[in-house]
Amino acid sequence: MNKEKKTIIIEEILHWKRNKMLPHTYCDFLLALYTEGNVEQSKYRKKFSFNHILPFIIALFLPLTLIVTYFTEFSFILQMLIVSIFLIFSLIITAFFYKNNRTIHLSLSVSAILLLILTIDVVEYMTGGNKLFLSLTIFANCCLWIYLSRKLRLIYLLISGIIGFLSLLFVYFF
């Protein structure tokens, strides 16, 4: 068997082993068979990529934002600075994923929620909790979600925007 075919078969067996498609003993036997006992798994091992961990890091932004905003004694400016940094980082990651044709659902959702939290907190601080300005802020965020849902063809943003808008109507008229 030529070397190219052996390499492909070994990579496939390692894939089966990583994803637990076959028991480890079977995979080890097949690896020993195809490598003739000279298995160098580090040569065939998939390299670690930071791109696989980014969605999990972004998912931590929401609980961290809530902790920073509601459970710390930081000044308002520092709280909003931290939330702004989280928002900017999540927007950069969303743009990176969008550019590289990867799924942007988690990072876009986190960005939208962070933007909502940031704008509501800033408007509440600036206006002293005026209900009209808070409602306009929520309305603007819902309009942004609906616009993005149309542009990116994401139904969950459309549903979120409509639910937010209907919630505002319900609060004001019922």
Give the pLDDT confidence of 67-85 residue by residue, as tens digits.
999 999 999 999 999 999 9
Average pLDDT of the residues of the chain: 88
Each residue's pLDDT tens digit, 111-143: 999 999 999 999 999 999 999 999 999 999 999
How far is it, in rounded angstroms, from Cα 35 to Cα 31? 6
Average pLDDT over residues 56-76: 93
**pLDDT score of 41 more than 60:** no
- The residue among 115, 108, 116 whose CA lies nearest residue 148 is 108
List of E strands, 106-151: none
Angle at the Cα of 117 from the Cα atoms of 113 and 120, rounded to 5 degrees: 135
Q: For residue 130, how far is the Cα from the chain centroid?
A: 32
Q: Is residue 141 a contact partner of residue 164, using CB atoms and an 8 Å limit?
A: yes
pLDDT on residue 21: 84
Q: Is the dihedral of CA 30, 31, 36, 37 positive or negative?
A: negative
